[in-house]
Structure 1
C-alpha cells in the first residue's frame, strides 16, 4: 500500500462489505412489517399525547438532556487491527492522516443517533414550547457542531488516557452539551458566548496532551473488537454468524429452577436442555429482551390490532430462535453415549420452549394488570403469545 489513505480505503471497503453481508439478513420483509406497525403505533400515541400535554411541560430541557446525553456517546470508529501494533509503528508520526479519515466517518455515521430524536421532538418543541423555526434551524447547526466536538474530544481523551476514565469525560461533555442546547433553545446569546470558553478550553487541553504520547494500540484494538463483536451478536439473532462463540455463565441465583425437572433417567435431556438455556448468554438474554419488549408494548400501545401483531411477532421470534439455537448443536456430546431415546433431546427442546413461552405470556398478563389496561381485548395478548408460539413450534422444522 502506498500510504495511509490506501490503508483506510481498503479497510473501510472491507468493513462496509462485512456490514452489508449480515444486514441483508437482519432487515427482512418480516422485520419491516413489524417496524412499520411499531412506528405507526408510536406516532399515533405521540400525536395523541401532544394534544393533552400541559403548556408548562419542560420540553426544551427534556430534548436538550436527551440529545446532550446522546452526543456524549461518540465512540470513534478507527478500524484499527491487532497487527497494526507492529506494522504501523514506522508510520506513527503520520497516523493522524489515517485518524482524520476515521473521525470523519465516525462523525457522519453517528449523526442519525441525534438527528432522529431531534426530528421526532420538533412537534413537541413547536406546539408546546413554541420554538420558532429559525431557532430550530440554529439548534440543528449547533447540534452538528457539538457532535463534531464530542467526536474529537472523546478520541483525544482516549488517546491521552489510554482509555481510562472515559465515563467521567462523557459526563462532563454531556453537561456542556445540555447547557449549550438549552441556551440555544432560549436564544440566550450571553450564555452561549460564555459556554464557548469551556468548549474551546476542553478541546485544546486534551488535544495538547497528545503531543509526545504514543498511540495506545491495545485500547483501540480492543475497542474495535468489542464493537464488531456487538454487531455480530446482534446479527446472530437473525442468521448464523461464524465469527462468534456463545459465552457461558453459571448464574447460580437460578440453580433452584433445576429442581423443577424430576430426577429420572427419562428426563436427562430435559435437564440438559434447561441447563443449556439458562447458562448460555445468547439464548437466555435473547428471550429476556424479547419478553421485556413484549411487556413494554403491551403496556404502552393502546391500539389492539397493532399490539397484537407486535406481541405476536416477538412471540414468533422467541419460539423459533430458541428452538433453532438449542437444536443447532451437532457436535459430539457425552449424553450421546447413554441409552436415551433419539428423540428425547428434540422433545426436551419443545417442552422447554413451551414452558418459557408460557412464562412470557404470564409476564405480559401481569404487565397488563399492573398498568391497569381498560380495553378488554388487550387481555387476549397472553393467548396470542401461546397460540403463535405453538403454531411456530409445529410448523418449523
Structure 2
C-alpha cells in the first residue's frame, strides 16, 4: 500500500477516477506483484453480494472486531462492509456499545493496521551504498536515488537502477550492493553499460564506477548478465568460482541450497575457472553450453542445454522440461518463501514439463503442478507437503 492513498483505491473500485488518479494507480499496480494481488483481493470483496460477507460474530468493541479479522482481509473488506453500515453493521455496533467510534477514528485505526502490515510484509529490494545507507526500491515511482562518490544513480519504473558514467574517473573504488528478497527480481545497469538481472533472494556487489583495471563483481544467488564490450575483462566471482568474459550474455546460478554452481552461456564466449586445493581448473564455453561446478565431488564439467530453460525467469516464468519434481519445487519454494516436505521420497524423482507464470499466487501454481503430475500439494502457512493423489 506504499505511496497510494486509500481514497484512490476506493474511487477505482467505484469507477470514479480522474485521469491523473488513473495514472497513479496504474503505476502502483505495475510496480509489484504484491500490489496487484492486494487490489485483486480488494476488488473481489467489493464485488461480492452482501450475503457472502461474513458478519456472524461481531465483538463487543471495534478494537476486537478489527483484531479478529484476518490481517490482510480486514483492510480489503472494511470499505465493502462500510457501504452497508447503516443497514447491518451500525445497529450491531450500537448494540455492542460501539456507537462512540466516529468515521475518523475508524480511518485512523485502518491506517495503523496498514502500517503494521507494511512492516510485516517488507520484502523490498534494497540498495546499500558505499556509506552503508540503505534504500528501498519498491515504491513504483521514478526517482533520483542517490549520488555516491560522484556517480549519479537513478531508479526507473521498468528499467530498474541505472548508474551514470562519471565525468571524472574516481581513484577510489567504492562498492554498492543490490539485494532482492522472495518474489522480487530486479534490473540494474552498471556504469559501463552492462545490464544485470538479479533473481529473487540474491545479492550483487559491484563498483559504482569501474577503474582502469578489469571489471569485477560478486554474486550470491542467481543473475543474468548482458555484458558491454569495453576491451577489459568482466569477471563474476561466485564462491570459489570465477566467470571471465569480454562481452557476452550468460546466466549464473549459485544459490546456497543447490548442489552445484551453473553458468549458462547464451551468446559470446566465457571462461569458467575454479580453485580446488590450490589446483586451478577451467573450461571455455561456447553459446548453448552450461558449466557445472559441484562442491561435493569437486567436478567441473560442461554440457549442451536449451538456454531458454535457464533464463526464462527474466521474462517472468518458471520453465522446466523433463525436470525432477524436487528441482522444480526448489525454484518455486525459493520464489514464494516456503519449505517443501515429501510424504514419500520417491516423489522427488517424478519428471515434469511445463511453463508457469511467476506473478500467479502459490495456489494457482500448485494447482497447475497437481494437474500435470498426479500429486497433491497441501500448504499450511510456509510449510508445503507433497503426497500422491488419493
Coarse TM-score class (shorter-chain normalised): under 0.3
More strand by share: 2
More helix by share: 1
Provide TM-score, normalisation by structure 2.
0.23
Provide TM-score, normalisation by structure 1.
0.22
Larger relative contact order (Cα-Cα within 8 Å, sequence gap ≥ 6) = 1
